[in-house]
Structure 1
Amino acid sequence: MTAFMALAAAILRGFIRDRTSVFFAIVFPLMFLVLFGAIFTDTGASKIDLVQVGDVALVDDLPAGAKQAWDDTFDVTRETDLDAAIAEVRKGDADVAIEQRGDTLIAHYTETDQVRAAMTQGALDAFVNGANIAATGQPPTYELQVVRVEDESLKVIDFVTPGLLGWAIAMSAAFGAATTLQGWRQSKLLRRLQLSPVPTRTIVGARIVATLLIAFVQTAIFLGLGTVAFGLTLSGAWWMAVPLVACGTLCFMALGLFAGAIAKTTEGAVNVANFLVLPMAFLSGSFFPLDGAPQWLQVISKAMPLRHLNDAMLDVMVRGESPSTAIVPMLILLAFAAALTLIAARLFRWDTV
């Protein structure tokens, strides 16, 4: 136990003294959290920039309630020259320009941003349909009521943080294991440890404990900063993120051991780990959701361990799912860890070949 504690403490001291490791394990991922937090804090649905050309009776004659909804949906500027209004839309200074000819409302829009264009057309269509119903004097037969399934207090940063945390855990564990293995091998420390009276399992256990402690510190910093600085809201089962982080750390530590086993230099190990982790982060929803991705890409994404880590943390930290929903992802992560460890052990060499 004394040797185990001494090795774990030495590994942690080495990590803290290595500014590059600290930067890429903690500071670099936090930069993304701060960036995303600054972008998405207190952001609501932005209004549609609309240019009204001349008099538009449909808008001017809206009843009080509908007029309030119109003002909440559109940021309206007035223009007398249709060509000038269309030029604003074409340059991107406005989303749509409207004019009325007789009973026809004509909307001039741009397809540069197709999502924005669809929102604009849908909003205008809703107001035109409402005006038609009001003109006939007949009340609508059906009514739409929308109810949000998540807590109304949730913000975009609540959905972004779990993915960024998953990426930070994956990068720190994988890069740390890969560089440590190669660094010890090249400095001949690995061979000296083999010849020392300390059992191999003690060395491995100390490295695992040190990596887990670093991951837990990352998690605490992420959640603390997100809560204090950006109003991060956590669900009741958020504590389940702790065993999830532990399983994810073991999985990506095994990935780092694999990278260190097949590479011949420290730089090569870093490159292999980067080649494996960075594309996985993009394909696992760490930076943006994959809901609109093609089906074949969804299949590939679900074959990656980081996707299961991200989804599970999102479930327990944000969506309010029960703690039991994290059990299957944890088993998947541990299965990846076992498989990668076996492969790395098969390829492992005590000395640089």
Structure 2
Amino acid sequence: MTAFQTLSLAMFKGFVRDKATLFFTFVFPLLFLVIFGLILRDVGADKTKIALVGDGPIVAALKDSGAFEFESYTDESAAVQKVKDGDLPAALVVRGQQVDVRYAQSDQVKSATVLGIVNGVVDKANLAATGQPPHFTFGAEKVEDASLKPIQYLTPGILSWGIAVSAVFGSALTLVSWRRKQVLRRIQLAPVSATSVLSSRLMVSAGVALVQGAIFVGVASLPLFGLQLSGQWWLAIPLLLLGTVAFFALGMLVGSFAKTEEAASAAANIVVLPMAFLSGTFFPVDQAPAWLQAVSKAFPLRHMNDGMLDVLVRGKGVEALLLPASILVGFTLVVALVASRIFKWEE
């Protein structure tokens, strides 16, 4: 076997035999996806529940609209008391042709929604009762917007973060461990090039990243979460590999100056964890202050997140890869150059 094949096989065996590494590579980031996916699964899906007293054509029209979930009462005072107690935002009271709404003053958003919908249905019924044609016409149609369900946003971001964690920690800890155990010194004395050592470790990291991506997408696509991939989702694969190379280079930089595994782990955490929060991994940064958005664009993870989001779920084409791919390649070249300058074969 060639040196590249031998080293790759040795590194792969070392990876799969390390239970802690397997946990933090696959299970740990997947836990974030499952927890956030379950918590935010039904966000925005609930209908507004209001109390209802009485019946008639207005109530029938409101039920047909599907805008509300009704909680029926026979006693008006009991229905109004639910509003006063803060349990419901409004109560609809219908007595023949009289339609009254009792709403909570403190919950202005839901109250305004209830008043607007009920008023619209009543006005429409009054117009129909006159038998006169409408003087103004109103038209409405659905428009596909760019908003995403929580799982659509979380999957690309947490996947990118998981790739970054795996690549940085994998390369940094391996480099430090091999230096301390004199493995690098033995490799240096053997007829093995540094290129073979790095490329074999990088190939293992790339393979792990592809497996991570398949597991993440597979879990998120379960009916429990409901991830829907775009038609060109496969464009995420080259971006995933470029991100692996970029963060592998960052791990090499950390491993080049760290003296112990503990120091390498701490330094990697200091780099990766703040980057995850500032790059929109767990929540959008679009509503953050302008200065924070500017800072986030300095991180490669931000651009990897944006690129994965565009091609994985937003349905954008290869043009969406140009900016994130260019930034990841540039970041890799700069960091790899710095790492090569301070790299040491032994302590």
TM-score, normalising length: structure 1: 0.83
Q: 2:279 & 2:201 partners in 1: Cα distance? A: 27
Match of 2:170 among 176, 179, 192: 176
Aligned length: 336
List alignment gaps of at least 5 residues for structure 1. 112-116
Q: Deviations over 1:90-120 (max 9, x none)?
A: xxx43x13477x9874421545xxxxx5355
Per the TM alignment, residue 139 of structure 1 is displaced from its structure 2 partner at its CA by 5.5
Per the TM alignment, residue 209 of structure 1 is displaced from its structure 2 partner at its CA by 0.9
Q: Which amino acid aligns with 1:296?
A: W
Tell me which residue corresponds to 2:220.
226
Change (3 A) 1:139 1:307: farther
Q: 1:300 & 1:77 partners in 2: Cα distance? A: 52
Change (3 A) 1:27 1:98: same
3-state secondary structure, aligned to 1:143 = coil
1:337 corresponds to 2:328: no
Change (3 A) 1:82 1:13: same
3-state secondary structure, aligned to 1:310 = helix
Is the contact between residue 258 and residue 340 of structure 1 (CA under 8 Å) also seen in structure 2?
A: yes
* Map 1:156-171 → 2, pairs under 5 A: 156-171=150-165
Is the contact between residue 236 and residue 308 of structure 2 (CA under 8 Å) also seen in structure 1?
A: yes
Tell me which residue corresponds to 2:307.
312
3-state secondary structure, aligned to 1:234 = coil
* Map 1:91-110 → 2, pairs under 5 A: 93-94=87-88, 96-98=89-91, 105-110=101-106
Tell me which residue corresponds to 2:188.
194
* Map 1:257-268 → 2, pairs under 5 A: 257-268=252-263
* Map 1:88-167 → 2, pairs under 5 A: 88-89=85-86, 93-94=87-88, 96-98=89-91, 105-110=101-106, 118-132=109-123, 134-135=125-126, 138=134, 140-149=136-145, 156-167=150-161
Change (3 A) 1:68 1:261: same
Match of 2:249 among 254, 266, 279: 254
Tell me which residue corresponds to 1:5.
5
Q: 1:67 & 1:139 partners in 2: Cα distance? A: 27
Tell me which residue corresponds to 2:48.
48
Match of 2:77 among 77, 80, 87: 80
Q: Which amino acid aligns with 2:189?
A: L
* Range with bigger deviation, 227-236 or 21-30: 227-236
Q: Which amino acid aligns with 1:97?
A: A
Is the contact between residue 244 and residue 330 of structure 1 (CA under 8 Å) also seen in structure 2?
A: yes
3-state secondary structure, aligned to 1:146 = coil
Q: 2:99 & 2:110 partners in 1: Cα distance? A: 23
3-state secondary structure, aligned to 1:49 = strand
Q: Which amino acid aligns with 2:271?
A: L
Tell me which residue corresponds to 1:350.
345
Tell me which residue corresponds to 1:326.
321
Q: 1:179 & 1:119 partners in 2: Cα distance? A: 53
Is the contact between residue 90 and residue 103 of structure 2 (CA under 8 Å) also seen in structure 1?
A: yes
Q: 1:235 & 1:77 partners in 2: Cα distance? A: 42
3-state secondary structure, aligned to 2:316 = coil
3-state secondary structure, aligned to 1:68 = helix
List alignment gaps of at least 5 residues for structure 2. none
Is the contact between residue 257 and residue 344 of structure 1 (CA under 8 Å) also seen in structure 2?
A: yes
TM-score, normalising length: structure 2: 0.84
3-state secondary structure, aligned to 2:284 = coil
Is the contact between residue 221 and residue 227 of structure 2 (CA under 8 Å) also seen in structure 1?
A: yes
3-state secondary structure, aligned to 1:236 = coil
* Range with bigger deviation, 76-85 or 201-210: 76-85
Per the TM alignment, residue 329 of structure 1 is displaced from its structure 2 partner at its CA by 1.1
Change (3 A) 1:87 1:351: farther
Is the contact between residue 47 and residue 75 of structure 1 (CA under 8 Å) also seen in structure 2?
A: no
Per the TM alignment, residue 127 of structure 1 is displaced from its structure 2 partner at its CA by 2.8
Per the TM alignment, residue 259 of structure 1 is displaced from its structure 2 partner at its CA by 2.1
Tell me which residue corresponds to 1:114.
none
Q: 1:43 & 1:347 partners in 2: Cα distance? A: 49
Change (3 A) 1:179 1:139: farther
Q: Which amino acid aligns with 2:273?
A: L
Change (3 A) 1:67 1:294: same
* Range with bigger deviation, 282-291 or 222-231: 222-231
